[in-house]
């Protein structure tokens, strides 16, 4: 087993494991060297490249878990979304879903065929990673639906909300397809050998509570109910901006609650079921601070969590592309040096 898997199951560990959301990304010069040569979608669709990119931060920093280099919109793409990545704008979907007709016209695809490249990348990675566990992932149905309706990133989801409030049948149809396709996708990843799964619900925090229950909790529960997970790989849910709703989230059949940087993780550690692990939550922008400030803030997170079995160090959101990798090294070193012995002894 590994520190990461042990912590995910709330087993005591000698120190907190650490990985970082978007750890295989643009802040690394070795990533940019690939990105200069290849399109983003080509990179995730080529198992050899996806494998190499996934391994880069493991080699450089010795993170305690690797996360598959891919994107949360692979499933949208498989369902017929005409996806591209526009420099400086992020994902763009040329054929957004805006009606029940649009939703019903989505492709009925066999995810195992259309996203076979992900399965092949996982197989390659498992042969390269040795003892380091591999995290597979998917976008949660709501967040993927948001992109499919908006057609691009949106700071307020105005188009999605107009759609959701005025055409709940169409939203239901879209979400139902996403639940089924995402379950197929995660089942494929589990069969291919991932050691853990994280579900990203990036935009869940923009919903009011009744909509959060309807379009976040209900579909994720339906998705989790469709998983075939004989080995019991731990499941993490990361729903940005929703820590106030920890009670709904921790009633889901999950092992780890990932929390954003706005949450008070020590307080959550007291509130939630002690059988659920916590993951997070340094402000990604804290990596812009002077190293002495950064180190103090990492310790400030570690100290209150040291006595709670089930804590995984991470940022509270993805690492930003202009962060200095030396700052990441400082974070990793600080976490690794902070053995829990000093607390237990």
Contacts with a copy of itself, residue ranges (CB under 8 A) = 155-158, 161-162, 165-166, 205-212, 241, 243-245, 261-264, 267, 281-283, 285-286, 288-290, 293, 297, 300, 316
Residue labelled with tokens 């239901």: 172
Q: How far apart are CA 256 and CA 237, in angstroms?
A: 7
CB nearer to a copy of itself: give 179 or 239. Answer: 239
Which of 22, 98, 120, 218 is flagged as catalytic?
A: 22
How far, in Å, are 63, 135, 223, 280, 319 from residue 232 at the CA level? 22, 13, 15, 22, 29
Q: Within 13 Å and on the Cβ side, how many CA atoms surround 70? A: 31
Our answer to whether residue 71 is catalytic in this structure is yes
CB of 187 to a copy of itself, least distance (A): 32
CB nearer to a copy of itself: give 120 or 297. Answer: 297
CB of 245 to a copy of itself, least distance (A): 7
CB of 243 to a copy of itself, least distance (A): 5
Our answer to whether residue 35 is catalytic in this structure is yes
CB of 11 to a copy of itself, least distance (A): 27
Q: Residue 283: how many CB atoms within 10 A of its CB?
A: 15
Query: Do 233 and 187 meet the contact criterion of CB atoms below 8 Å apart?
Result: no
Q: Within 13 Å and on the Cβ side, how many CA atoms surround 198? A: 34
Q: How far is CA 61 from the centre of its chain?
A: 19
Our answer to whether residue 22 is catalytic in this structure is yes
Q: How far apart are CA 255 and CA 4, in angstroms?
A: 12
Q: Which two tokens stand for residue 273?
A: 């079921």
CB nearer to a copy of itself: give 152 or 262. Answer: 262
CB nearer to a copy of itself: give 174 or 204. Answer: 204
CB of 159 to a copy of itself, least distance (A): 10
CB nearer to a copy of itself: give 109 or 153. Answer: 153
Which of 27, 147, 185, 311 is flagged as catalytic?
A: 147
> Any idea how long the chain is?
345
Q: How far apart are CA 51 and CA 124, in angstroms?
A: 7
Q: Residue 33: how many CB atoms within 10 A of its CB?
A: 10
Residue labelled with tokens 């759609």: 163
Which of 71, 184, 201, 260 is flagged as catalytic?
A: 71
Residues that are catalytic: 22, 26, 35, 71, 147
């Amino acid at each position: 087993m590994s520190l990461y898997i042990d912590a995910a199951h709330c087993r005591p560990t000698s120190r907190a494991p650490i990985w970082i959301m978007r750890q295989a990304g643009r802040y690394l010069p070795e990533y940019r060297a690939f990105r200069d040569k290849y399109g983003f979608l080509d990179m995730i669709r080529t198992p050899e490249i996806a494998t190499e990119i996934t391994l880069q931060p493991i080699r450089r920093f010795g993170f305690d878990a690797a996360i598959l280099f891919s994107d949360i919109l692979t499933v949208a793409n498989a369902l017929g979304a005409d996806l591209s990545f526009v420099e400086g704008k992020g994902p763009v979907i040329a054929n957004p879903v805006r009606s029940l007709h649009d939703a019903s016209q989505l492709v009925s695809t066999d995810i195992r065929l259309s996203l076979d490249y992900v399965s092949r990348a996982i197989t390659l990675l498992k042969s390269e990673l040795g003892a380091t566990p591999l995290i597979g992932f998917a976008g949660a149905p709501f967040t993927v639906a948001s992109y499919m309706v908006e057609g691009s990133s949106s700071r307020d989801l105005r188009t999605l909300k107009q759609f959701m409030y005025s055409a709940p049948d169409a939203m239901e149809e879209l979400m139902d397809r996403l639940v089924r396709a995402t379950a197929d996708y995660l089942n494929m990843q589990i069969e291919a050998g991932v050691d853990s799964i994280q579900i990203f619900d990036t935009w869940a925090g923009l919903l009011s509570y009744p909509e959060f229950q309807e379009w976040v909790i209900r579909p994720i529960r339906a998705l989790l109910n469709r998983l075939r997970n004989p080995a019991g790989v731990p499941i993490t849910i990361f729903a940005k901006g929703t820590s106030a709703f920890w009670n709904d989230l921790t009633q889901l059949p999950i092992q780890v609650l990932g929390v954003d940087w706005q949450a008070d993780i020590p307080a959550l550690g007291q509130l939630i079921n002690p059988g659920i692990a916590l993951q997070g939550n340094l402000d990604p922008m804290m990596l812009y601070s002077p190293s002495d400030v950064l180190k103090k803030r990492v310790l400030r997170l570690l100290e209150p969590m040291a006595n709670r079995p089930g804590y995984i160090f991470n940022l509270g959101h993805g690492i930003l592309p202009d962060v200095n990798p030396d700052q990441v090294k400082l974070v990793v070193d600080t976490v690794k040096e902070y053995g829990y012995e000093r607390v237990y002894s």
